[in-house]
Structure 1
Amino acid sequence: MNKAAEKTTQQFESVIVSPMRSYTLAALDYYQQMVGAQMDAARAYSDMTIAQARTWLDVKDADSFKKAMESQQKAATNLMERVKGDSEKVTSISQSFMQDSQKMVEENTKKAVETVK
């Protein structure tokens, strides 16, 4: 009876607990990376916005207005490049998580089938 209980416990660990733990760790890593990417993006966007606001506060005449407009165009270009880079980063993080999750499912399914046999 003790051996049967031990075997059941091992099967439960192998089929249920271990895969759940692996997936949870992967999910936590994914969420940490996503939150980090979002925080970095928010910080960069707010820094750009504040810098532009400061530029506009320095407008005193036609020449400084022209410089502010040029700065605005450059900031818009930089913002679009940043958004593109951030989108690519989020896509990469998501694809990596999806691939890792799929691999875990395949490995755990294989392991579960072997354990049950």
Structure 2
Amino acid sequence: MRTLNTNEMNQQFDNMFMAPARAYMALSIDYTEKMVNAQMDASKAYFDTGVAQMRQMMDVKDAEGLRSYMESQQKVAKDLAERAKGDADKVVSLQQDFIQKSQKITEDNVKQAQTAASKMTKTA
């Protein structure tokens, strides 16, 4: 029966535990960064729209200007609804991608553990 030296044990420990943990952490960091950026982009777009609407309202000087402003609100509402749908779709896509990649990491780790266990059984 062959015994493992310290370097081999360290390598197996790294392969079995630390490498998958690092892969999952890298995936989590990437996901978090993408989610935060998506939220910041959406917040900026909504803020910019709100400020633009306030500026347009400040330019209203008469009944005709008010009517024109109110008519333009339909387009703004439509644009915001489309933006909100696009933002929701982006979040769902990011979540699905994260889930698929994390499942792949888990599957790869299980396969690697099975291979390692099989090798250990054969050498024992």
TM-score of the two chains, using structure 1 as the length reference: 0.94
User: What's the Cα RMSD here?
Assistant: 1.2
| Superposed displacement of residue 61, structure 1 | 0.7
In 1, distance between residues paired with 2:111 and 2:70?
Answer: 61
Structure 1 gap ranges (5+): none
Secondary structure in 1 matching 2:60: coil
Q: How big is each residue's C-alpha offset from its partner over 1:32-81, in whole Å with a ceiling of 9 and x where there is no partner? A: 10001000000000000001111111111111001110121111110000
- In structure 1, the residue matched to 2:77 is 76
What is the match of residue 102 of structure 1? 103
- State the shift of 1:4 in Å: 2.8
- In structure 1, what is the equivalent of residue 55 of structure 2? 54
5+ residue gaps, structure 2, are 119-124
Query: 2: CA distance between counterparts of 1:112 and 1:81?
Result: 47
Aligned to 1:27: 28
Q: TM-score, normalised by structure 2?
A: 0.89
The 5 Å alignment of 1:81-92 reads: 81-92=82-93
Q: Percent identity?
A: 45
CA-to-aligned-CA distance 1:72-107 (integer Å, 9 cap, x gap): 111111000000000000000000000000011001
